[in-house]
Amino acid sequence: MPNVVIVGAGPTGATLALLLARRGIPVTLVEAARDFQRQFRGEGLMPSGLDALHQMGLDTLLETVPHRPLSAWEFWLSDRRLFRANEPLGSARPCTLVSQPPLLAALVQAAQTKPGFEWISGTGVKELLWDKQRVTGVSLTDGRTIEADLVVGADGRASLLRQKAELTLTTQPKSIDVLWFKLPAPPNYENDNRFCTVVKGGRVFSLFHGAEAGRLHLAWAISPDEPTEQKNWAATFAALVPPELVEHFWAVEDKISPPMRLSVMVGRCDRWHRPGLLLLGDAAHPMSPVRAQGINLALRDVIVATNHLVPAFQQADDSASAVIDCALARIQAEREPEIIQAQKLQAHEASRGEMLRRFGLLSQGLSAFSPVVGPLVKRVWTQQQQPLREGITPVRLEV
C-alpha cells in the first residue's frame, strides 16, 4: 500500500490523516509545534463545516471538546441595532464555535488508535525530497528523512511546502489587518451568544463569546499600515460598543488582553499540486476572515481529497505514482470553483462593511431609519449568507 506524509496538524491535516488511517492507508502526520496551543486559531464552524465533520463520523468527538453555538447575528450602526437574525437562519444546525486545540488533540488521539499511523510533533520539515521532477518525501529538521508516495502540504497560509515546490500563490490586494482582543464576557452572553458587528466612528469591529467559557472575543479591523499604538482600549471600546455593553467594558478595563495583530492574507494558488505533492486548505487558498470560511472550506477539501485519494491508493500497483498524480489534478478541479466563488462572496460582504465605515451619512441614515429598513436589510442579508453557510458546491464523502 502506498504511504502518505501530511505536513501540518491543523484541521486540514488532522482530519485527512484520520480519514486515511481509518481506511488502512499508512500515514505519517508531521507537526512542527509541540502542542496545539497557538495564540490564535479560528473557531467558527458554519453548517457546511459541521456537516463535513458529521460525514466524517466525528459528531461524538466534537461533543467531547468545548464548543458553543451562536444564538444570533446582530448589526449595530451608530448606537442603534439595524437588525438581529437568529440562528440557525434556516439551516439544520446553528453556526458553532469550537475550541481548536482540544479538537485537534482529539483527532490525533483517534488516529493513533489506527495501525499504520505515525505522529511526529515538535519537528518541522526542512526540505522536500525529489527524484527527478517528482516529490518523494520530506527531510526533517532533526535530520530524519521520510519517503512517501504522496506528500500533503496542510501547513497553512505561510506554507513552507508551497515555497519549496515553487507553487505560486496569487494574493488579493491587502485591505485590512485585525487586532484580536479577549476579555471577560458579560453574563448575558452566556445564554445569548450573538455575533455582534458594529460600525461607528469610522470603525468596524465584531464581538462574540468564544468557545472558551467566560471569554468575549473582539476583532478590531485596521488598515495594514496602521500602527498598533498603545491606547486606553477600554475607553476606546466603551465609546463605540452598543449602549448595553458600555458599563461592562469600563468594569473590565484592566482585564482586556493586549491586542494580537493578525495579518490578513487572501489568495489562491493557480496550481495546488506537483507530481507527488498536494496542497490543501490555507496552503492552497488562504481565505478572508469574513464568515469564518477557512476551516469550513478546508474540511470540505479533505472530504474531496479522501474521495479521490483512497481509490487511487487502493488501485495503485507498479504505476502507483501515475495513478496518484492524476488524482491530484481532479481534486483541484473539483474544489477550485467553490473556493473562487467563496472568495468573491467574502470580498463583496467586506466591501459593504467598508462602504458603511467610510460613508458616515449612509451609516447614519440607515441607523436613523432602522425600524423601517432593518427588516428588509435582514431579509436580503440572510438570503445572501446561505452559500457561505451551506457551501456552494455539493460535497459528499463517498469512500
Q: What is the pLDDT of residues 281-314, one digit of tens each?
A: 999 999 998 888 999 999 999 999 999 999 999 8
Average pLDDT taken over every residue of the chain: 94
Could you give the number of structural domains in the chain? 2
User: By percentage, how much of the chain surpasses pLDDT 90?
Assistant: 81
**pLDDT at 315 (0 to 100):** 83
1 pLDDT more than 80: no
Query: Of 266, 201, 213, 284, nearest to 238 (Cα)?
Result: 201
**pLDDT at 41 (0 to 100):** 74
**pLDDT at 40 (0 to 100):** 65
- Mark which of 236, 263, 290 sits at the end of a domain: 263
Same domain, 203 and 239: yes
**Is the CB of residue 25 less than 8 Å from the CB of residue 272?**
no
Same domain, 183 and 242: yes
pLDDT in tens, 65-94: 999 999 999 999 989 999 999 999 999 999
**pLDDT at 182 (0 to 100):** 94
Whole-number Å distance between alpha carbons of 100 and 49: 13
Same domain, 15 and 122: yes
Residue pointed to by grid coordinates 449595530: 76
Residues 93-122: what's their mean pLDDT?
A: 96
Residues 368-381: what's their mean pLDDT?
A: 94
Residues 216-230: what's their mean pLDDT?
A: 87
> What DSSP string runs through 48-98?
HHHHHHHHTT-HHHHHTS-EEE--EEEEEETTEEEEEEETTTTSSS--EEE
Residues 38-46: what's their mean pLDDT?
A: 80
- Mark which of 263, 284, 304 sits at the end of a domain: 263
Same domain, 32 and 154: yes
**pLDDT at 361 (0 to 100):** 82
Same domain, 34 and 109: yes
Largest CA distance in the chain: 71
pTM for the whole structure: 0.95
Q: Cα–Cα–Cα angle for 53, 59, 64, nearest 5°? A: 120
Same domain, 131 and 158: yes
**pLDDT at 256 (0 to 100):** 96
* Domain enclosing residue 285, as ranges: 4-69+96-173+265-354
316 pLDDT more than 70: no
Same domain, 132 and 269: yes
Helix (H) or strand (E) holding 45: strand 44-45
Same domain, 151 and 137: yes
Same domain, 317 and 249: no
- Mark which of 245, 263, 281 sits at the end of a domain: 263
101 pLDDT more than 90: yes
pLDDT in tens, 335-354: 999 999 999 999 998 888 88
